[in-house]
Chain A
Amino acid sequence: MSQTEHTRERIASLIEKNRVMLFMKGNRRAPQCGFSARVIGMLDSMLPEYETFDVLSDPEIREGIKTYSSWPTIPQLYVAGEFIGGCDIVTELYESGELQEKLGVPVKALKPPTIRLTDAAAEALRQTGAGAKGKELHLTIDAQFQNQLYLGPRQPGELVVEANGIGVLIDRSSAERAEGLTIDVVETKEGPGFRIENPNAPHQVKQLSPAELRRKLDDQEPLYLFDVRTQEERAQARLEQARLLTPEVAAEIQGWDKDAVLVFHCHHGGRSQKAAEHFSSLGFRNVYNLAGGIDAWSREVDPNVPRY
Chain B
Amino acid sequence: MPLQILNAGVDTTGVLRKALEAALPGAEIEVSSASPGHFELRVVSKVFEGKTRVQQQQLVYKAIAHLMSGDSAPVHAIDRMQTLVP
Query: A residues engaging B (CB < 8 A)?
Result: 63, 66-67, 69-73, 83-85, 89
Contacts and interface: CB of A to CB of B under 8 A. Distances in A.
B61 A72 contact: yes
A67 B69 CA distance: 9
Contact of A63 (B53, B57, B69, B77): B69
A67 B54 contact: no
A71 B77 CA distance: 11
Nearest to B2: A268
Contact of B54 (A66, A73, A84): A84
B65 A83 contact: no
Interface secondary structure of B, over-half rule: helix
B58 A69 contact: yes
Nearest to B68: A72
Given A70-B61, A70-B62, A85 B69 contact: no
Contacts of A71: 57-58, 61
Contacts of A72: 61, 65, 68-69, 77-78
B20 to A, nearest CB: 14
Contact size range, B? 10 to 19
A85 B58 CA distance: 9
Contacts of A70: 58-59, 61-62, 65
A42 B3 CA distance: 32
Nearest to A85: B54
B79 to A, nearest CB: 11
B65 A67 contact: yes
Contacts of B78: 72
Nearest to A69: B58
Nearest to B54: A85
A89 B54 contact: yes
Contacts of A67: 65
A63 B68 CA distance: 11
A82 to B, nearest CB: 9
A71 B69 CA distance: 11
14 contacts: A66-B65, A66-B69, A67-B65, A69-B58, A70-B59, A70-B62, A70-B65, A72-B65, A72-B68, A72-B77, A73-B77, A84-B54, A85-B54, A89-B53
Given A66-B69, A70-B61, 18 more contacts: A63-B69, A66-B65, A66-B68, A69-B58, A70-B58, A70-B59, A70-B62, A71-B57, A71-B58, A71-B61, A72-B61, A72-B65, A72-B69, A72-B78, A73-B77, A84-B54, A89-B53, A89-B54
A70 B61 CA distance: 6
Contact of A83 (B58, B59, B62, B68): B58
A297 B5 CA distance: 28
Contacts of A63: 69
B21 to A, nearest CB: 18
A67 B65 CA distance: 8
A289 to B, nearest CB: 16
